[in-house]
Amino acid sequence: MAGKESRKTGYTGIEIHGNSIRVYFMYKGVRHRHTLGIEPTKANLKHAAGLRSAALFALRSGNYNEADFFPHSRPAETLAVAGKRLDDLCDRYKPLKAVDLTPETESRYEIALNTCLELIGRNRQVNTLLPEDIQKLRVDLIATRAVSTVNHYLATFAGFLYWCENNGYCGELGKHCTRFTKSNKEPDPLTLEEFNALIEKGCLHPIDKAAVTLAVYTGLRPGELLALAVEDVAPDFSKIKVRRSITQSATFKVPKTKKDRTVLLYPPAREALKILVADAEQRNAAELRVWLNRHESRTDRVRVLLSPKTQARKKDVNDYFVPSAWNSKWANLIRRSGIRPRPPYQTRHTYACWNLTARGNLAFIANQMGHSDYSMLVKVYARWIDSESPRELERIWEGMLSMARNTPEKLAA
């Protein structure tokens, strides 16, 4: 038999169920639902709304007795168990989590949570889940997905489970969402010969040559490179300020570290910037909304250096490159140059490796690249640092000898 149809009334938590009025509300994760057994007249609907408000007040004040408010309601209508369905809990969790996320990150969280719920079962009661269920989820996820994707899904789902734990819906489950070990691929920087081939054979347009040169000699992340503007360049071309990045959805946001940084420029980068600035100055400034977080943004009125319109044959093209469009252009440049394929992020690795091979100061390089300290350099580029250790030892020893000659009393023989 088909269930009775429920209709809205205009009052919060009050609906018409069949020929009667039903009151419903949530309190501390428990769904309360009571059919009053009275006709849905205007007066009765108003009475039901007042009854609901009084019941909620009693709940909050600790004086609630269900029989006083709903004497004819069946106890089974207090659906404590139903409130622990994964689907219901996740619907409550997502808007609470979303306030700390950007819309783009929220979309990725939504995909991750939905995928995990589909695999485990949306109608499962969270308090019936076992560590075995989480282990099976890991197996199902890794069967058809990359390690990085699976780890993102597991981290997101673990956050949801920890929320369930903290609110008393289940025991300890989040800790079982252990991530998979990901192999650390070493950087694959361009050699000087490959860089020259890329510039001379791959880049047929001056703007492309300037863009690739700037990427290699600044170590900017692709999103930072694509969001760089004329207004970020010092008048003497000695430095740039990295103030924003662009995402795949053409959304501008602050850099990964959430703060601006200044990058000092080598001569090739300065010459490249002169070409890019001259081209961008022909375009009108545009107002870019740069998101600081989900709730705050600023407006930058700037002329972005790289625009697809510069070389476009079609009239209807985007004003800005997004990472995927830049990936496609980069792939064409690599193909024409004849060198081994690499993703565009390797220009950042190239900058780091070239600086380290030239025995650059670790703290300086880390600051240029936007790292909080140089531990990341040591971890990612250890091979390039270690290969220089004998020369570094000699350099340090020469410095110690020089110090000894100048202040012999401070250095014992």
What percent of the chain is predicted at pLDDT more than 90? 53
Q: In the predicted model, is pLDDT for residue 258 greater than 90?
A: no
82 pLDDT band, cuts 50/70/90, is: very low
| One-character DSSP codes across 7-28 | EE-SSTTEEEETTEEEEEEEET
CATH code for the domain in which residue 244 is found: 1.10.443.10
- Clarify whether residues 203 and 324 are in a common domain: yes
Clarify whether residues 65 and 150 are in a common domain.
no
What b/e string do you get for 232-246 counting C-beta neighbours within 10 Å, with b at 16 or more? bbeeebebbebbbbb
- Binned at pLDDT 50, 70 and 90, residue 2 comes out as very low
Is the pLDDT confidence value at 303 over 80?
Answer: yes
In-domain check, residue 403: no
Q: Which domain holds residue 106?
A: 83-176
- Which residues lie below 8 Å from residue 234, measured CB to CB, with a gap of 6+? 240
- pTM for the whole structure: 0.69
Residues 91, 113: one domain? yes
**Diameter of the chain measured on Cα atoms:** 103
Residues 65 and 166 in one domain: no
Q: Are residues 37 and 88 in the same domain?
A: no
Mean of per-residue pLDDT scores for the chain: 87
- pLDDT for residue 1: 39
* Number of independent structural domains in the chain: 3
pLDDT of residue 90: 93
Pairing mode, strands 252-253 and 286-291? parallel
pLDDT at 68 over 90: no
* 32 shares its domain with 90: no
Instruction: Give 349 or 315, the one with higher predicted confidence.
Output: 349
Is the pLDDT at 144 greater than 80? The verdict is yes
Reply yes or no on whether the pLDDT at 81 is more than 70. Answer: no
Q: Answer yes or no: is 134 within a domain.
A: yes
Query: Is pLDDT at 232 greater than 80 in this prediction?
Result: yes
pLDDT band at 29 (very low <50, low <70, confident <90, very high): low
- Flag whether pLDDT at 3 surpasses 60: no
Q: Are residues 47 and 125 in the same domain?
A: no
pLDDT for 290: 94
What is the structure's pLDDT at 149?
A: 94
